[in-house]
Structure 1
Amino acid sequence: MKEIKYQEDWNDSWKHSYQYDLLEVYESDNTCGYFYSYDNRRKHTLELIQKVAKPGAKILDVAAAQGNFTLSLAELGYEVTWNDLREELIDYVKLKWEYGIVHYAPGNIFTLDFNAEFDVVLIAEVIEHVAHPDDFLRNIAQMLKPGGHIVLSTPNGGYFNNRLPRFSDCPDPSQYEAIQFKPNSDGHIFLLHLDEIEHLSHQAGLFIKETLLITNPLTNGHLKLHYLLKLLPKSWVQTCEKLTCSTPLAVKCKLQITTIALLTQSKSTN
């Protein structure tokens, strides 16, 4: 994708998006945890999609913001539909577009009448922002072609430093409807645990094909470890990440910060 330069006359949402692009794709500060954690999540997410979908497959990127996954997937040969509530970001994404097929579908994803249209739906760091993750996942599943896949990434609720509640422990999620859809970590409502993702998936007629627990506190710069990121070579950080990813599941559930799940729809599911 093209690298763009900051313009003072941009609207506020473009300026805000550009600050994230500086970290996510332009590597303006590769000594901070945000860069490492995003780069790690993007790598694993794209690899999962490439496992289950060949170039030419139709992909929906939900709440795609500044479109970095959208554009990366288009450049890999997929036919990608960008979606976000902020319609004004379309022209920002178009500035970065270099090649590949991208369609734009702004607005509330559940009013756009996407029914069984996509081979893959990507919901990256979205489900923790909604008051009813069960209904959300059930509705997203209806947008898949038979045998289609959802790639879901979300903060790991089992991480030892997590202070947010489990969705399954909340008797009335509707109390959070007024604050849902807010961006960034301030908008997190629930952080899902592995058993909750499995339960929600089954409710939606989906099966978990693969689950990854990634990004340790060093990679993310948590617990003041961001000071070490300024000193350590990138190769050392990556080696540490590989080591923690190879630990037993019980350890990873407590140590790793991000969950990525590949969910598959049964071909017999209507």
Structure 2
Amino acid sequence: MKKVLFDEIHTLEKQKFLKEKMQQVSNEIHSKFTKLEKVNNCPVCQSKSIHQYTECFGYEMDICDECNHIFTNPFPSYEALDYYYNSDLKDFENKFFMDSFENRIPIFDRRILEIEKYLGRDSQLLDVGSAIGIFIEALFRKNNPFKVTACDLNQKACLYLQDTYKGLEVLNENIYSLSKPDSYFDGISLWDTVEHLTDPDRFLIKIKDLLKPGGYFFFSTPNTFSFEWGVMETDHVQLLPPGHVNLYNSKNIKIILEKTGFQVVDIQTLNASLDISYILKNYIKDSYSPLEKFILNRLKDDSIFFESFNDYLVQTKSAGNMLVIARKE
């Protein structure tokens, strides 16, 4: 399959202006809204052994010593989040998603192959947060093997989906307002959203309620137990509060799923080429050790080394974005 590379997924405009836009909206939020109280325990494993990890855009980020969960502490208020998601930043995000639309399709091609291992043809699949429809497009290019319902809060996005994909059922609703249909869902998909949720327990319980017994939940989220996080640490591009407020890893994601009635079936990290290209572009130091020079030069110039290291990251689940497959117990 086609390599997924950093510059193709993250447009140059995004790379140039993201921090500036994030800082601008964060400054506005800090001036308009009162901070909540800090919590004293990890929101995943409840351990009280937490300490500050970094500060980003004026938000403190803590890390749990027990399960390595990284989270904004305190979490932003609902009013602050509402302001954030209705700011100009959202239009900025939609633009770079549209500009990189075609280059993002291979990400979902791989995910669809995994989903097809668990859902038969014509299974009922609810896609939550369909936005501009990159996943929907990838499905339709494969003759849409499922009976898909798209759900999104944004009215413009829903109108676009209805006009573009004939026969697609589209719901312009908040997932919390959805009632269980007569024939409810064999599977639910959600892409790069869990890290945005301040109350993931409530969300997961709602997902479980919408699934048939034995139904599957497919979602992606950053994996902080990964090559790219190990290298970039507090300089990582995914540290984006108040957008990203909970950053999980391939071990502690099981805790929150099992706590809400899911069994973790599998975790895959499928797009390691994205990690490698991210590191090659962003790992910049004043000087490098001989070992660093050797590895970086081989990754740049030796396709065999690149592919071998890519396969290693996939096989060891060490790439920076994980596809989680969970089953309703």
> Shorter chain as normaliser: what TM range?
0.5 to 0.7
Is the Cα–Cα contact under 8 Å of residues 180 and 210 in structure 2 kept in the other structure? yes
Is the Cα–Cα contact under 8 Å of residues 48 and 151 in structure 1 kept in the other structure? no
The amino acid of 2:256's aligned partner reads: L
Unaligned stretches of 5+ residues in structure 2: 1-87, 284-295
Is the Cα–Cα contact under 8 Å of residues 217 and 257 in structure 1 kept in the other structure? no
Is the Cα–Cα contact under 8 Å of residues 108 and 138 in structure 2 kept in the other structure? no
The amino acid of 1:263's aligned partner reads: A
Partner residue, 1:208: 264
* Distance in 1 between residues matched to 2:213 and 2:254, nearest whole Å: 20
1:112 aligns with 2:178: yes
Partner residue, 1:144: 211
Partner residue, 1:259: 322
* Distance in 2 between residues matched to 1:19 and 1:214, nearest whole Å: 22
Partner residue, 1:76: 144
Alignment of 1:129-208 (within 5 A): 129-159=196-226, 160=230, 161-163=232-234, 185=240, 187-208=243-264
Deviations 1:144-163 (A, max 9, x none): 01111000110013232354
* Distance in 2 between residues matched to 1:131 and 1:162, nearest whole Å: 22
**By how many angstroms is 1:135 displaced?**
1.8
Deviations 1:96-135 (A, max 9, x none): 32x6x41111121111213671111001111101101122
Is the Cα–Cα contact under 8 Å of residues 73 and 80 in structure 1 kept in the other structure? no
The amino acid of 1:140's aligned partner reads: I
Is the Cα–Cα contact under 8 Å of residues 221 and 321 in structure 2 kept in the other structure? yes
Partner residue, 2:310: 241
What value does the CA root-mean-square deviation take over the aligned residues? 3.2
Distance 1:262 1:80, change over 3 A: same
Is the Cα–Cα contact under 8 Å of residues 217 and 225 in structure 1 kept in the other structure? no
Distance 1:109 1:44, change over 3 A: same
Deviations 1:142-183 (A, max 9, x none): 11011110001100132323549xxxxxxxxxxxxxxxxxxx
Partner residue, 2:28: none
- Normalising by structure 2, what TM-score? 0.57
* Distance in 2 between residues matched to 1:69 and 1:134, nearest whole Å: 25
SS in structure 2 at match of 1:52: coil
1:57 aligns with 2:113: no
SS in structure 2 at match of 1:55: coil
Partner residue, 1:96: 164
Is the Cα–Cα contact under 8 Å of residues 124 and 148 in structure 2 kept in the other structure? yes
Larger Rg: 1 or 2?
A: 2
Aligned length: 215
The amino acid of 1:86's aligned partner reads: N
* Distance in 2 between residues matched to 1:143 and 1:67, nearest whole Å: 21
The amino acid of 1:243's aligned partner reads: Y
Unaligned stretches of 5+ residues in structure 1: 1-11, 28-34, 165-183
Correspondence for 1:19 among 96, 99, 118: 96
The amino acid of 2:196's aligned partner reads: H
